[in-house]
Amino acid sequence: MKKVLEVRNLKTHFFTDKGVVKAVDGVNFDLYEGKTLGIVGESGCGKSITSMSILKLIDKNGNIVDGSIMYGDKDIVKLPVEEMRKIRGNEISMIFQEPMTSLNPVFRIGDQIIESIKLHQDLSKQEAHDKAVNMLKLVGIPRAERVVYDYPHQLSGGMRQRAMIAMALACDPKVLIADEPTTALDVTIQAQILSLMNDLKEKTNTAIMLITHDLGVVAQMADDVIVMYSGKVVESAEVKELYGNPKHPYTQGLLDSIPDLKSEKKRLNSIEGVVPNPMELPKGCYFAPRCKFAMDKCWQEEPGVYFIDKEKNGETHQVKCFLYEDK
């Protein structure tokens, strides 16, 4: 397994009138060729800012204040803007929830894909055009030969999403970052897009980072999962292990809150309480105020990271919780 990205102790903070928001605060993970890493957690826990940090697209009032993002032998954190521009949208490309943020409304779909192809690959105009049509076909757009001349607003939401994915994949990215890529789509199209992403991962060996609050999607798509809470990773494991043997009380709560189709009692078990205000984080474990297992210590100290069942999992299953402190 080849490692494509190695994120260590990543800290991205925002500086506001009211104080510092530690949106991402000491995050670690690895991304491997041909594998999908799922990132889950409630709204505001830092999923998008983690991905934006990798792309170095952080709002002006924020900054990566510590850590490293190794991409081969380059540290993205230290990379000059110019070099980052070459990598972004090429070797590392992205899909967002709202396709109109990456599609330009005033240019034809085909021209946008062609531009993305030609920017990074040495192809003639005709070759690039043919490749654009092929990409549109690959993402399941009917009559791609005609759609290539359409403007974004002429397509339905689902087709626009596909066009954006075609654009994101046209340059054969090594890393694809997908932030809630299907949330806005209806379930049928969602399923098609996800299976398409799976196909492409297998065909092109792309490493995928998939951000979603939908634990069902993660179960279906991811090889590995990290669970975030208030800017920190609280648990990480291979997908089967995480769903079969969740350890952190927060992960257990998230999994319990998946609506059970068989019972009528939807979401009855969802975790009580809300995520803490980032300006007023509790001392100790940030989850303690919502945790039914919280001990005295949890209110005082930040928990370390402990390994679960090392004999079976090696160091792949990690949890940031005093319940699993090595005794």
Residues binding ligand ATP (CB under 6 A): 14, 16, 21, 23, 41, 43-49, 59, 61-62, 213, 278
Strand runs labelled E in 33-73 = 36-40, 62-71
Q: Please give the structure tokens belonging to residue 280.
A: 């007023």
C-alpha angle 22/318/272, rounded to 5°? 60
Nearer to ligand ATP by C-beta: 119 or 219? 219
Q: Please give the structure tokens belonging to residue 143.
A: 């009559």
Residue with structure tokens 């397509």?
A: 155
Q: What x/- string results for residues 47 through 66 when contact with Mg ion is judged by CB under 5 A?
A: -x------------------
DSSP code of 298? G
Which of the stretches 19-27, 43-51, 202-210, 273-281 binds Mg ion when contact is defined by CB under 5 A? 43-51
Q: Please give the structure tokens belonging to residue 269.
A: 């078990």
Nearer to ligand ATP by C-beta: 47 or 320? 47
Considering the complex, what minimum distance in angstroms separates the CB of residue 202 from ligand ATP? 27
Considering the complex, what minimum distance in angstroms separates the CB of residue 159 from ligand ATP? 24
Considering the complex, what minimum distance in angstroms separates the CB of residue 216 from ligand ATP? 16
Strand 175-179 versus strand 207-211 pairing type: parallel
Q: Check binding of 116 to Mg ion (CB under 5 A).
A: no
Instruction: Tell me if 237 sits within 8 A of 225, measured CB to CB.
Output: yes
Instruction: Tell me if 26 sits within 8 A of 11, measured CB to CB.
Output: yes
Nearer to ligand ATP by C-beta: 144 or 254? 254
Nearer to ligand ATP by C-beta: 45 or 138? 45
Nearer to Mg ion by C-beta: 29 or 322? 29
SS3 sequence, 246-282? CCCHHHHHHHHCCCCCCCCCCCCCCCCCCCCCCCCCC
Considering the complex, what minimum distance in angstroms separates the CB of residue 280 from ligand ATP? 12
Considering the complex, what minimum distance in angstroms separates the CB of residue 115 from ligand ATP? 28
Residue with structure tokens 């998939």?
A: 210
* Site of interaction with Mg ion (CB under 5 A): 48
